[in-house]
Chains A and B, each alone.
Chain A
Amino acid sequence: MAEGTASSGFPLSAGLRRLTLLQISVPTVLLVFGVYHGFVQTLYRAGILRADSFLGIDYYQGLTLHGVINAIVFTTLFAVAFGNALIARFLEREPNTRVAWLGFAIMLAGTLLAAFAMFTGRASVLYTFYPPLQAHASFYIGAALLVIGSWVGFFNWIPVYLGWRRQNPGKKTPLAIVGIFSAFIVWLIATTPLAYEVIAMLIPWSLGWIDEINVLLARTLFWFFGHPLVYFWLIPVYVMYYVMLPRIAGGKLFSDFAGRLVFMLFIVLSAPVGLHHQLGDPGIGTSWKWLHTILTFGVALPSLITAFTLAASLEYAARQNGGSGLFGWWAKLPYLDRERWLFAYLFVGLVLFFFGGITGIVNASYSVNNVVHNTAWVPAHFHTTVGGPVLLGFTGMSLYLVAKVGGKSVRLPRLNVAVPYLWLLGVALFSTAMSITGVDGEPRRTNLGLTYTNPNSSLFVEGWWTLGRITAVGGTLMLASMVAYFAVFFATLCSKRRAAPSIDFPVAEAYHDERAGIVENFRPWIVVAVVLAVVAYIPPLYDVLRATFSGSEGFSPD
């Protein structure tokens, strides 16, 4: 395309363009802190840092910052910004700019409140904020505002979508729109009980308006939210995988039906599975733990369908690129293509997710969970899911959006294409070492350097200390990868505009494109999702209430 001609994409208004750039840049700046605290974790855990704190930040304070920023703030702000861009491009109408700004302002206010509490050491309660450890009220209020702001962002898309449906009767909704709506329907279902936990229980309790709360109830409501949360992270990446990756690779999406079915299955099965995080908890009957185990295996199905569909799509692309043979075609994909760099980000995410899927099935396997629950195995697992496809998809797409919407070209392209591979190497070392020590019982979320990996402590465990070094090497490579990413991102952000700002994405055609009415309508899936969530949660909540003998007042972590 010649300089100065109109872009092929959707021209964005100045208001939405500025909002998008800001809503991508703010979480990226925060991610710098989040990544730093992740790296320092590996030093503490390896026993290289043997201290309560480093550079003025306490271990558990840093761990809280790492989890909250990376998993909650970065992901939520990004998902809404990505959704705004998808709506504008695929429905060819912008969501209301003022409402979009309002949603962002609420999320930002929440983020700043929570950041205040965390940076001043008033909320070292980790990102799960389990009571009765009690944080400053500003932490809980901040979390509530972040969620409410994201709802505003989502509700802003609904009139645009309904308008599109009216104007395009009988047309299939674009797959990208189906995907991003599924993500936010899952989010809305998940955050409803979370809102109850935070607004009706934690905020009044932290302000002293009520003395005691039911700890197990709060924990159960949290995990009602906590597992669908991971699909809220994952589904936007699935949008990139289904809609964009096949096109970037030079091919087509193998099956449009598979994409639609997968998104609908996520709506139905994301929520009624949370008890697999509470398999070791008291006060919940084993029948309900079984039910959630079976449903969790059900929610593995859409990911297995995805594995097949994406492999088939990549094979088709590779054969279009001249690949042949049973496995020889794998050589014909643009792994190191600097122009099509987004391929590397998405592809490496898929590689990591292969392991994330397998280890996830282990975690959900009922009593097998006894071996790994709350051990280092768990962070080893989720750094190949939320730290795999989600991180690489979200950072890659952040860079893509900043370049596209800002009318810039990506700077440092050679370094950029190395980012995902460096990350892959780092996570491979990190997660392998932690999986081994985890099965051996090494606890997660623990300042190991002071005890378990300290040769002078009576609790010293030699194997954890030895493998901790490998974890730290992995952490260092992960840090290097992210430093490279930040260099590329900020160099691109600060570079001169070269093209007319617009929004466009690579969009794959479907190889098999059949009509299947059942996956073309959200309504029946939402109804089933709500019914299933209620049925799967009423009996365990009843158990929780009758097994709890007394409420708890708040405790400070120190």
Chain B
Amino acid sequence: MDRAERLALIVASAMLVAFLAAVAFAVVRLDIGLPTCLTSMEPFESGEVIQHTEDRFEIHYLAMMWDFEPDEVEIPSGATVDLYLTSEDVLHGFQILGTNVNLMAVPGTVNYARVRFDEPGEYRIVCHEYCGVDHHAMAAAIHVVAQ
């Protein structure tokens, strides 16, 4: 094998390993993860907000053609929120703009993510998976109010 070719191969492999290490760092040290396989919770049939303590909330989001339930939620800043997501009909997307929350709502299953809102303001939720003729109008919001 040509010397330059061997060198290119080594550099390319090292680059990929470095990228992977950076991703692993984000997961392990910064705790930015992905949803996993959840088998302990059955899909729910209505959305709700549950307050456990002053700064711990649980929201069950039910996605449907073409709305989220609940579609407006108020949360105090600094609160940790456990989000559960399912769909009662087709696939939907669920991205909270300005956060790392980006989930798929799949009927028959429950998806999960944890998020903490430190900055007060309006956080918009966008359905980003095509779900029928009114997909572009499917959105919701979380209002984070200063403590």
Residues of A within 8 A of B (CB): 52, 58, 60, 63, 126, 130, 132-133, 214-216, 219, 254-255, 257-258, 278-286, 289, 293-294, 297-298, 300-301, 304-305, 308-309, 312, 361, 365-371, 373-375, 440-441, 443-448, 450-452, 459, 512, 514, 543, 546-552, 555-558
Interface residues in B24-53 by Cβ distance below 8 A to A read 26-27, 32-39, 42-43
* Shortest Cβ gap from B87 to chain A (Å): 9
Contact A282 B112 (CB under 8 A): yes
Contact B104 A368 (CB under 8 A): no
Contact B129 A365 (CB under 8 A): no
From the candidates A301, A444, A451, name the one contacting B128 in the complex (CB within 8 A).
Answer: A444
Contact B26 A368 (CB under 8 A): yes
Query: Which 10 A/B pairs are nearest by Cβ-Cβ distance?
Result: A282-B111, A443-B128, A304-B12, A308-B8, A374-B128, A557-B132, A441-B97, A543-B37, A285-B37, A370-B102
Residues in B whose Cβ lies below 8 Å from that of A555? 65, 89-90, 132
Contact B103 A280 (CB under 8 A): yes
Q: Give the complex CA separation of A230 and B128 in angstroms.
A: 22
The stretch of B15-23, B54-62, B74-82 in contact with A is: B15-23
Residue of B nearest to A552 (CB): B107
Interface residues in B72-114 by Cβ distance below 8 A to A read 85, 89-91, 93, 95, 97-98, 100-104, 106-112
* Shortest Cβ gap from B127 to chain A (Å): 7
Contact A305 B12 (CB under 8 A): yes
- Contacts A130-B91, A216-B106, A557-B133 given; indicate if A367 touches B100 (C-beta within 8 A): yes
Q: Give the complex CA separation of A483 and B2 in angstroms.
A: 44
Residues in B whose Cβ lies below 8 Å from that of A309? 5
User: Which among B35, B65, B110 has the greatest number of chain A C-beta atoms within 10 A?
Assistant: B35
* Shortest Cβ gap from B72 to chain A (Å): 12
Residue of B nearest to A457 (CB): B137
Q: Give the complex CA separation of A250 and B42 in angstroms.
A: 64
Residues in B whose Cβ lies below 8 Å from that of A551? 108
Residues in B whose Cβ lies below 8 Å from that of A60? 130, 132-133, 135
* Shortest Cβ gap from B33 to chain A (Å): 6
Residues in A whose Cβ lies below 8 Å from that of B126? 441, 443
Contact B33 A133 (CB under 8 A): no
Contact A257 B1 (CB under 8 A): yes
Interface membership of B147, Cβ < 8 A: no
Contact B127 A547 (CB under 8 A): no
Interface membership of B116, Cβ < 8 A: no
Contact A443 B112 (CB under 8 A): no
Interface membership of B131, Cβ < 8 A: yes
Contact A373 B102 (CB under 8 A): yes
Residues in B whose Cβ lies below 8 Å from that of A132? 89-91, 107
* Shortest Cβ gap from A297 to chain B (Å): 5
- Contacts A365-B19, A374-B128, A547-B39 given; indicate if A446 touches B135 (C-beta within 8 A): yes
Q: Give the complex CA separation of A512 and B135 in angstroms.
A: 55
Residues in B whose Cβ lies below 8 Å from that of A368? 23, 26
- Contacts A361-B19, A365-B19, A450-B136 given; indicate if A255 touches B129 (C-beta within 8 A): no
Contact B104 A301 (CB under 8 A): no
Residues in A whose Cβ lies below 8 Å from that of B65? 555
Contact A215 B133 (CB under 8 A): no
- Contacts A297-B19, A301-B16 given; indicate if A283 touches B26 (C-beta within 8 A): no
- Contacts A60-B130, A450-B137 given; indicate if A305 touches B9 (C-beta within 8 A): yes
Residue of A nearest to B95 (CB): A441
